[in-house]
């Protein structure tokens, strides 16, 4: 009786927290679109004297043409080369001298730039992003410089890292038609073969206001910020080219695909990747909660079973890739010393089967809901996080207000939904399996 009462209290606490998010903790924002197509989202939070200025361009590696991979990621670097009004290499120094920081990232679906600044420097951030959009230098010097930078990054992060080629091998094996088969970093050969005109065409096609979302969050005055945005962005002409949106549908996988990779590693590893629906679908939310169940902390199912109890692995986790088109759900484990990959894979399969056959207890399910809620709140606890979330929700779902309502989509997931999606998607015919082995094990 006491246990049931405690579980009931936990359920009530979660429900009240969700209600609090939608009422007293609602994130207020203003959004509008300039005549040139630039979508603007402004969120005012005067609690601390800082501001995040960000621009999301709706272009990622999936927008690249065959034989010219790596363009989106390459431009992430190239756009810091300078503009007609900013000398080469000055982007970072201008922000740092103002007491701020900046960065960018690229995915399959987007390229995202941001500056974190003292709030009295918001105009600097807006000017820098407007310059990037209108006057970026796409010349031989910048292209050659960044070719070397990107190649060195690939060597450091992928080629010379243990298990660094995991992404390339997983996605190229899992996808046969869809552009997700190529990772955002692309290939040396494609970048080296590209002409300066091809880079300029990419810029003119994708780096236009009608393919961008400007999101500003923090210690701002909305009306004053609107005037600054009008000053810096309204004069940028709308792009005139059609923006390519791939409509390739990956054929349904009907049998398991396997690959063995011999890498510069000491401990073998097993990676399993299952095809799953795109982000925003009901099943995606259930699969996201399944991920937390499997690897949301040291006491989650995969590390608890494989690392703590059986000691077959030194690490084990599950990762869903939130993508605009149907993506992948990964589980992976790195073997403990002396453990064979076949035994490790079998142990991973056992844990997946447990989800399919054993109902979640009320206690475990409530813990899962609490974790998901905590992660969601933490994601939007900073102005930088809110700026990014608002832009993402607008671009991917056409609804920036999901920042206030998406949590309820997670909380709507039932125990039975988690078991159902595990049965439907985590099947052998729907997956690829990679075994990573030391190079010393390679047959001669």
Convert the pLDDT of each residue in 140-199 to its tens digit: 998 998 888 888 888 888 888 899 999 999 999 999 999 999 999 988 899 889 999 999
Q: Cβ distance 120 to 224 under 8 Å?
A: no
**Domain annotation covers residue 242:** no
CB 214 within 8 A of CB 92: no
Predicted pLDDT at 377: 92
For every residue of 364-426, which 3-state class applies, written as one string?
HHHHHHHHHHHHHHHHCCCHHHHHHHHHHHHHHHCCCCHHHHHHHHHHCCCHHHHHHHHHHHC
Residue 11 confidence (pLDDT) above 60: no
Is the confidence at residue 18, as pLDDT, over 60?
no
Structure tokens at 178: 């869809």
The pLDDT of 74-103, averaged and rounded, is 93
Structure tokens at 351: 């844990």
Asked if the model's pLDDT at residue 23 lies above 90, the reply is no
Mean pLDDT of the chain: 92
Interacting residues of 319 by C-beta distance below 8 A, sequence separation 6+: 291, 295, 329, 330, 331, 332
Give the Cα separation of 225 and 218 in Å (integer): 11
Q: Could you tell me which residue, 231 or 18, shows the higher pLDDT?
A: 231
Range of the domain at 160: 34-233
pLDDT computed for residue 159 by the predictor: 83
Same domain membership, residue 417 and residue 276: yes
Same-domain status, 179 and 211:
yes
Mean pLDDT value of segment 117-124 = 98
My answer on whether 308 and 196 are in the same domain is: no
Could you tell me the pLDDT band of residue 292, with boundaries at 50, 70 and 90? very high
Q: Which of 15-19, 82-86, 306-310, 312-316 has the lowest mean pLDDT?
A: 15-19
Percentage of the chain surpassing pLDDT 70? 95
CA 90 and chain centroid, separation: 28
Token pair listed for 314: 């030194």
Kindly state whether residue 193 falls inside one of the protein's structural domains: yes
Q: Identify the three-state secondary structure at position 441.
A: helix
Task: Let me know whether 287 and 411 are in one domain.
Answer: yes
Whole-angstrom Cα Rg for the chain? 23
Angle, helix 402-411 to helix 282-295, in steps of 10 degrees:
70
> What pLDDT score was predicted for residue 13?
38
Same domain flag for 303 and 156 = no
Distance CA 212, CA 238 (A): 11
Q: How many domains does the chain have?
A: 2
Percent of the chain exceeding pLDDT 90 equals: 85
- What pLDDT score was predicted for residue 154? 84
Q: Is 415 exposed, middle or buried (0-12, 13-18, 19+ CB in 10 A)?
A: middle
The answer as to whether 1 is a domain residue is: no
Same domain, 132 and 210: yes
Angstrom distances, CA of residue 45 to CA of 124, 322, 383: 19, 28, 8
Which of 1-15, 207-221, 336-350, 408-422 is predicted with the least confidence, judged by mean pLDDT?
Answer: 1-15
407: domain CATH number?
A: 3.30.830.10
pLDDT at 393: 98
In terms of domains, do 88 and 226 share one? yes
Query: What is the model's pLDDT at position 155?
Result: 85
Q: Is residue 434 part of a domain?
A: yes
- What average pLDDT does this structure show over 333-356? 97
Tell me the whole-structure pTM to 2 decimals: 0.92
Cα 13 to the center of its chain, rounded Å: 30
| Residue range 279-290: mean pLDDT, rounded | 97
pLDDT at 42: 98
Q: Is the pLDDT of residue 52 over 60?
A: yes
**Is residue 8 one of the residues assigned to a domain?**
no
Give the number of other Cβ atoms within 10 Å of residue 129's Cβ: 23
On the question of pLDDT at 317 being above 80, the answer is yes
89 — pLDDT class (breaks 50, 70, 90): confident
Q: What is the structure's pLDDT at 187?
A: 86
State the greatest distance between any 2 C-alpha atoms of the chain, in Å, as a whole number: 74
Is the pLDDT score of 20 beyond 90? no
pLDDT of residue 24: 52
Q: Does the pLDDT value for residue 107 go beyond 60? A: yes
């Amino acid at each position: 009786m006491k246990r049931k009462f405690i579980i009931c209290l936990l359920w009530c606490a979660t429900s009240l927290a969700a209600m609090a998010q939608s009422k007293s903790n609602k994130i207020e924002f203003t959004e509008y679109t300039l005549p040139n197509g630039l979508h603007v989202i402004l969120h005012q939070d005067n609690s601390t004297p800082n501001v995040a200025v960000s621009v999301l361009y709706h272009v990622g590696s999936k927008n690249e043409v065959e034989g010219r991979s790596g363009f989106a990621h390459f431009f992430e670097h190239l756009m810091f080369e300078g503009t007609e009004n900013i000398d080469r290499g000055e982007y970072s120094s201008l922000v740092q001298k103002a007491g701020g920081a900046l960065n960018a990232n690229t995915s399959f679906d987007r390229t995202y730039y941001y500056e974190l600044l003292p709030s009295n420097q918001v105009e600097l951030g807006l000017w820098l992003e407007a310059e990037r959009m209108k006057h970026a230098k796409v010349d031989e010097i910048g292209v050659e410089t960044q070719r070397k930078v990107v190649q060195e990054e690939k060597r450091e992060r992928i080629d010379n890292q243990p298990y660094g080629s995991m992404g390339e091998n997983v996605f190229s094996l899992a996808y046969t038609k869809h552009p997700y088969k190529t990772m955002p970093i692309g290939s040396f050969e494609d970048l080296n073969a590209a002409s300066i005109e091809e880079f300029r065409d990419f810029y003119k096609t994708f780096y236009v206001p009608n393919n961008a979302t400007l999101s500003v969050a923090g210690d701002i005055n909305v009306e004053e910020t609107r005037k600054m945005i009008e000053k810096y962005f309204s004069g940028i002409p709308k792009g005139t080219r059609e923006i390519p949106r791939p409509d390739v549908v990956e054929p349904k996988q009907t049998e398991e695909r396997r690959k063995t990779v011999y890498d510069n590693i000491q401990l073998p590893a097993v990676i399993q990747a299952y095809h799953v629906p795109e982000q925003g679908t009901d099943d995606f939310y259930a699969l996201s909660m399944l991920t937390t169940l499997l690897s949301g902390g040291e006491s989650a199912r995969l590390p608890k079973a494989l690392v703590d109890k059986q000691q077959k692995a030194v690490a084990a986790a599950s990762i869903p890739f939130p993508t605009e088109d149907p993506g992948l759900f990964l589980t992976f484990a790195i073997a403990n010393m002396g453990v064979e990959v076949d035994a490790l894979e079998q142990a991973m399969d056992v844990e997946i089967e447990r989800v399919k056959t054993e109902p979640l207890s009320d206690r475990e399910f409530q813990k899962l809901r609490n974790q998901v809620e905590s992660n969601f709140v933490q994601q939007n606890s900073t102005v930088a996080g809110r700026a990014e979330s608002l832009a993402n929700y607008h671009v991917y779902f056409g609804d920036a207000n999901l920042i206030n309502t998406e949590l309820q989509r997670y909380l709507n997931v039932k125990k039975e939904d988690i078991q159902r999606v595990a049965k439907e998607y985590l099947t052998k015919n729907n997956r690829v399996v990679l075994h990573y082995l030391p190079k010393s094990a390679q047959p001669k």
